[in-house]
Chains A and B, each alone.
Chain A
Amino acid sequence: MEKVIRSPLILIVSLFLMTIMLWSVYYGAFSNVFESVLLFVLIIALSTFLFLILFHNKRNPERKISWKSWTPYELKEEDEGQQWVTYRATRKVYIFFYFAIPAGLMVVAVFRHIEFMPLVVLFVLGTTQYGIYWHESRKYLNDREEV
Chain B
Amino acid sequence: MLRNRVKELRARFSLTQTDLANRIGVTRQTIGLIEKGDYAPSITLAIKMAKTFDTAIDEVFWLEGDEE
Contact = CB atoms under 8 A, between A and B. Distances in A.
A80 B34 CA distance: 11
B38 A146 contact: no
Contacts of B25: 79
Interface string B3-47: 000010000000011100000011111111111101101100100
Contacts of A140: 29, 33, 38-39
Q: Is the interface of B mostly helix, strand, loop or mixed?
A: helix
Nearest to A146: B17
Interface range, A side: 10 to 19
A141 interface: yes
A105 to B, nearest CB: 36
Chain B interface residue bracket vs A: 20 to 34
A82 B16 contact: no
Given A143-B29, A145-B28, A80 B42 contact: yes
A81 B29 contact: yes
B16 A84 contact: no
Contacts of A115: none
Given A140-B38, A147-B16, A84 B28 contact: no
Contacts of B30: 79-82
A146 B21 CA distance: 12
B42 A141 contact: no
B29 A141 contact: yes
A87 B17 CA distance: 23
Contacts of A81: 26-27, 29-31, 33-34, 39, 41
Contacts of A84: 33, 39
A84 B36 CA distance: 14
List the 3 closest pairs (A to B, CB-CB), nearest first. A81-B30, A79-B26, A143-B32
22 contacts: A78-B26, A80-B26, A80-B30, A80-B41, A80-B42, A80-B45, A81-B31, A81-B41, A82-B29, A82-B30, A84-B33, A143-B29, A143-B36, A145-B16, A145-B17, A145-B18, A145-B28, A145-B32, A146-B7, A146-B17, A147-B16, A147-B17
